Amino acid sequence: MKKKILLLLTVTLLAFGIALFTGPHFISPFRMSGMEEEILLQVRLPRVLAAALIGVALGSSGAVLQGILRNPLADPYILGLSSGASLTASAGLILGSATFAVPLLAFAGAVITGGIVGIMSMRRGGIWPERLLLAGIGLGFLFSALLMLMMSLSTDEGLRRAILWMFGDLSTVEWSTIPYGLVFIAGGIVIALLRSRALNSLLLGDDLAHSLGFSPQRERLVLFIAVCLMTSSSVSLGGMIGFIGLLMPHIMRFLVGSNNALLVPCSALAGGSILMISDLLGRSVIAPTEIPSGIITTLIGAPYFLYLLKKRDILNE
């Protein structure tokens, strides 16, 4: 079990190094000019870190959410957090707010949405999975409609910035947002790892989780908060990146099994790796034009997922 995590950790560090030093312009870690050092530290490093954090956040929150909802089709974005973030961030961009305020607006939108979804799903003192799912979907639709309304009434320049943001644009990442992202995402991961046994128990059903000594309602709430923090931070760092939250946990389930003590960290590391590499490709292949990393992630990840699906007979191993 430890071996698999160590292997993935090595892959992640490798991906980090490659994403940091290569790109449209290769920078040798051993011989750097002053200009190259400047690019590396001020442009690439925050960008690669943001990609890693977003990937880690989406991979692990996908795994956790699929566990608490006991639904393998759950995606962190299904909770409506991303729609809430898009609404507030786009409102800011369209109304001409300063760029530095956008991550803050997005985070606020996501967290507030998470709070509303959480409250909507409460019944008899606890969060109910079906209600969580439906509240998230319902609120997501509402916010999307408001967003489209706002967009159809807005000017061209604001609209372009808003659309770029929603595509998952890592080119505007600045150092200032990284520490906040790091704190919330690390916090979420720690909670998820500490509660991985509770998460496993929830997969057996509430009654058995109770019998094993966990309070299903409390555990779901704590894990939901962890998912909200991680997803909100990731959306605020770099907009919406598809695929990782939904399918990375599935790829990892094929490879390491369903025990969340292993699945959550592996999905996190794999999510971070794939996003760093995707972002590298996105800014390199047709430089100086950038392809949004969300598109690359899906272009790499989806075929691999489909290959695994075809090759591995998960039901008869």
Binding pattern for the stretch 254-293 against another protein, x by CB under 8 A and - elsewhere: ---xxx----------------------------------
Give least dist CB 207 to another protein, A: 4
Q: Which residue, 185 or 248, has its beta carbon nearer to another protein?
A: 248
Give me the count of residues in the chain: 317
CB of 264 to another protein, least distance (A): 14
158 contact partners, CB below 8 Å, separation of at least 6: 93, 94, 95, 96
Report the residue number, 156 or 313, with the smaller CB distance to another protein: 313
Q: Does residue 253 belong to the site contacting another protein (CB under 8 A)? A: yes
Lay out the site mask for another protein across 39-78 (x = CB under 8 A, - = otherwise): -------------------------------x--------
List binders of another protein among 180-219 (CB under 8 A).
Answer: 197, 200-201, 203-208, 210-215
Judged by phi (left if over 0) then psi (alpha if -120 to 50, else beta), residue 172 lies in alpha
Three-state DSSP class for 122?
strand
Torsion angle in degrees (nearest 10) through CA of 269, 270, 274, 280? 30
- Largest Cα–Cα distance in the chain? 63
Interaction residues for another protein, span 297-316 (CB under 8 A) = 314-316
What minimum distance in Å lies between the beta carbon of 224 and another protein? 19
Q: 184: closest CA among 224, 222, 229, 223?
A: 229
Residue that has been written with the tokens 């639904």 in this structure: 71
Q: Are 88 and 102 in contact (CB under 8 A)?
A: no
Complex with another protein: residue 125 or 179, whichever CB lies closer: 125
User: What are the residues binding another protein (CB under 8 A)?
Assistant: 70, 197, 200-201, 203-208, 210-215, 253, 257-259, 314-317
